[in-house]
Amino acid sequence: MSSSKPDIYNDVDPFFNPRRVALVGASTDYRKLGNSILMNLLSSEIEIYPISKSSDRILGTKVYRSLSEIPNPVDLVIIAVSAKYCPDLMAEVKQAGASHAIVISGGFSETGPQGFELEQKLVIAAKKAGVRIVGPNCVGISNSRLFNGTFTMMPERGNIALLSQSGALGGMMIYTTRAKRIGISKFASIGNAADIGFVDILEYFRNDPRTKVIAIYIEGVENGKKLFESLRRASREKPIVILKGGRSEAGGRATQSHTGSLAGETRVFDGMVKQAGCVSAPTLDSLIEICKLFDYQPLPKGRNIGIISNTGGAGVLATDAASSLGLAIPSLESETTRELRQVLSPMASIGNPIDVVASGGRREYRVTTELLLSDPNVDMLLVICAVPTFAGMTQTEHAAGMLEGVRSVESDKPVVGVWLSGDVGKPGKDLLEMNRIPCYDDPFLASLCMSKITEYAYLLQRHAHS
């Protein structure tokens, strides 16, 4: 099956889809990474072989003294021992049957000239042994459907691949997506990227059938042209959302002491991202939220947004946000307006944005959603519920009404919710999200996400015609 995939896919695949994994540096000490990694590995269904010189059993599992003692050939070795031992381990990795190793250990080029030399030695040893490596100085690799080869939390299963130049920030994104119940397909932290690099992982994610959207945190790259080509190829197949660190002069200086990257000219980078057909996220929070919308909803055919609310104020704010972000607020078809007038309260505003007013409940949300999704002037729909409780109605009923409306039309237009009111709005919000309608706490964030998927839809069209 994977034979039709490019070489790099097959080169990288064992990092994500191993059947037997050895961990060199397994530990009983909860302060050691080798303890966290083993805990994570043992929660998967694949075969795990911990290696340690100091214990016979760890976490109830048999421990081997060295890679050579493992009875079966392994296809991936994870290494979490002192840096100085790593180069010599490469030959053993190969002897144990593996051509792939994740080197979690730090203490390489990130520490200075001595570490740089050690990293060179590691690379040479790996090449000589015929072993591809991810790392060193990384958080590791996880595949939410198979195993967690990191010292951070396992993500929820889903369709968004995470590629972060900052391992910790990548780990943070896993925690955040778990709290928000957003699913991740695969996570890669490549650390110093001594062998497998950013572009290799990107190419892998492009070819990965489980990945629908790619989220990237990047500070800088050595080979901009190669990255550009890779982004351009990948963005034609799936949306790529990029958050760039080091945009400011001060931030750029900081990236040098962080990943050692030259952040480069921001405007040049922004231009490259757009030319490559990718969209950029302005903040960490929005990076995840934009990816969620790409994952859950189809792309719009144009930039016309329909807005429904039960209070004028929130409709006004969404209209302001959408307009400022390049979306258009179209007039509705006269037939839509006529039908809305029949259904809604005389107090309602039936222009766009539509205000069904506080008395508008499940029925009004259903019918208005239906009518707007059926209107040829509307390319996408943003539905707000801002009145917390009214006359015994709850925001869950409004959400149910909206959902009924979306289902009865079966349109291919993207739809998002903005369920305001804190904890009181949560059940309604959860109902929508469980049905893959992204639901936001703020009209601006919802509009921002809509504007980003619209931008991508246009970039794709341009691609198609170029």
Which residue, 331 or 461, has its beta carbon nearer to a second copy? 331
Cis peptide before 71 (omega within 30 of 0): no
Report, in Å, the least distance between residue 223 CB and a second copy.
21
Please list, in sequence order, all residues whose beta carbon lies within 8 angstroms of the beta carbon of residue 333, skipping any fewer than 6 positions away. Answer: 375, 376, 377
Name the residue among 56, 72, 66, 119 with its Cα closest to residue 92: 66
* Cα 262 to Cα 265: distance, rounded to the nearest angstrom: 9
CB 218 within 8 A of CB 199: no
Report, in Å, the least distance between residue 91 CB and a second copy.
29
Which residue, 67 or 322, has its beta carbon nearer to a second copy? 322
* DSSP character at residue 97: T
H helix intervals, 110-262: 113-129, 167-179, 198-207, 224-235, 249-258
Name the residue among 421, 375, 363 with its Cα closest to residue 395: 421
* Cα 460 to Cα 368: distance, rounded to the nearest angstrom: 30
Report, in Å, the least distance between residue 317 CB and a second copy.
6
Report, in Å, the least distance between residue 165 CB and a second copy.
7
Which residue, 71 or 392, has its beta carbon nearer to a second copy? 392
Report, in Å, the least distance between residue 462 CB and a second copy.
26
CB 82 within 8 A of CB 104: no
Which residue, 22 or 318, has its beta carbon nearer to a second copy? 318
Name the residue among 131, 200, 198 with its Cα closest to residue 170: 198
Which residue, 91 or 390, has its beta carbon nearer to a second copy? 390
Which residue, 71 or 422, has its beta carbon nearer to a second copy? 422
Report, in Å, the least distance between residue 8 CB and a second copy.
26
